[in-house]
Amino acid sequence: MSLIKNFFENAAIRLRNEPKLSDMIWIMCATIKPFKNIFLEYCFDEKIVVLDEIIREYSRGDSQPDFYFRNINKNEYIIENKINDHGDHFEQYRKTFPKAKRSFISNYNEPEHDGWKVKTWKVFIQYIENSISKEKISKNELKYINSFICYLKSVINYLEAKSMNFSSISSLESFCILITDIFTEHKIVKFFEPNPSLPTSFNRQYYGKYFYYINKMKQNVYIWLGLFLPEDSGIYLKFQSYQNDNWLPKREREILEKLEKGKYFNEISFEEGNMYIHLKDEYFEKFCKKLDIVEQKDLLTNFINEILKTIL
């Protein structure tokens, strides 16, 4: 193991909270110019030349964003960093810095906010990896950047899905990571942890995730996507308690009940008050045996979108 990589791995053990991550970002920006260029371009979707320096925890009035700087035209920019902390300052910072360009970056999915660029650390990692070949980066700088990526993945609990074959138990974790990624990219969908006292719908093993979104009538629409084993093996999209307006509102229920067979799904089935939409067996077989992780993600996304587009 290289000394640089060892340094960042040890840093990830002790420097794991929001302020420490911001400190590490500041150090990387101050030390390695290509990293600063990539980071700022990702946050604001534009190339930026900083006038003086990036200031950590810049104070103005009762506001203190994590980063503040000006570009060569003396335009103001601020960046706010979050890890699991949903105590945001969108409106407060908008009033304190009315003329500034503002970016928010977190390890969770945050809806869009007027006047803000809303980003995630996970996509930033992918952005760095895609940008490395485009920037003029020395071998030594590249070692620091790659080691920093390892540090960041540890701090934000970054998980990567691998191509799945359900003959291997390790694929179940990758499956849950994959469907989390897919729903997260929908922006409007949020994670939901059901009450453990709720009765299970089937007396069988199942693996998946619950999500919900808020419809135009300000009602919650609850969704489960997952895998059933061993009976009726396959991937299912479930709408919870379809007869209960508190779980599946009337508008969505009536639309879904009229759905016929689609390209990716069979007819809807009903059991114990739940509505199930099954990925066709031919696609499930391809998913398990023939596709890499990118193709698996595309297939699941197409299956989900074919159904959700009818109710969103």
Q: And the tokens for 136?
A: 């003029």
Split at pLDDT 50, 70, 90, the class of 165 is low
Q: What is the mean pLDDT of residues 200-211?
A: 58
CA angle 57, 58, 63 (to 5 degrees): 95
Residue 39 confidence (pLDDT): 96
Closest CA to 119 of 212, 208, 25: 25
Q: Is the pLDDT of residue 205 over 70?
A: no
The mean per-residue pLDDT over the stretch 167-173 comes to 60
| Residues 304, 225 contacting (CB under 8 angstroms) | yes
Q: What is the pLDDT of residue 164?
A: 57
pLDDT greater than 70 at residue 1: no
Which region among 52-56, 285-289, 297-301 has the lowest average model confidence (pLDDT)?
285-289
Predicted pLDDT at 169: 46
Kindly list the domain boundaries of the chain, sorted by start residue: 3-155, 171-308
What are the backbone dihedrals phi and psi of residue 275, each rounded to the nearest 5 degrees, phi first?
A: -110, 125
Report, as an integer, the average pLDDT of 233-259. Answer: 78
Across 122-141, average pLDDT: 88
Q: How far is CA 279 from CA 6, 209, 212, 231, 236, in A?
A: 45, 16, 20, 15, 6
Q: What are phi and psi of 231, to 5 degrees?
A: -70, 150
Question: In which band, very low, low, confident or very high, does the pLDDT at 70 lie, cut at 50, 70 and 90?
Answer: very high
Distance CA 207, CA 205 (A): 7
- Angle between helix axes 139-155 and 121-131 (nearest 10 degrees) is 160
Mean pLDDT, rounded, for 236-254: 76
For the chain, percent of residues with pLDDT exceeding 70: 86
Amino acid 230: pLDDT: 53
pLDDT digits (tens, 9 = 90+) for 219-230: 888 888 888 765
Q: Tell which wins on pLDDT, 236 or 109.
A: 236
Query: Can you give the pLDDT at residue 194?
Result: 56
User: What is the model's pLDDT at position 36?
Assistant: 95
Say if residues 308 and 183 touch (Cβ distance below 8 Å): no
Ramachandran region, residue 215 (left: φ > 0; alpha: ψ -120 to 50; beta: rest) = beta
Please check whether residue 94 is in contact with residue 115, taking contact to mean a CB–CB distance below 8 angstroms: yes
CA triplet 297, 302, 305: central angle to 5 degrees? 120
Q: Tell me, what's the pLDDT at 59?
A: 95
249 pLDDT exceeds 80? Answer: yes
Q: Using pLDDT thresholds of 50, 70 and 90, give the confidence band for residue 58.
A: very high
Tell me which range, 64-68, 105-109, 212-216, is most confidently predicted by mean pLDDT: 64-68
The mean pLDDT value for 195-216 works out to 60
Sorting pLDDT into bands at 50, 70 and 90, what band is 266?
confident
What is the reported pLDDT for 243?
57
| pLDDT bracket for residue 128 (50, 70, 90) | very high
Cβ atoms < 10 Å from Cβ of 93: 21
* 105: enclosing H helix or E strand: strand 101-106
Looking at per-residue confidence, does 104 or 183 come out higher? 104
Query: What pLDDT shows up at residue 56?
Result: 95
In this prediction, residue 284 carries a pLDDT of 87
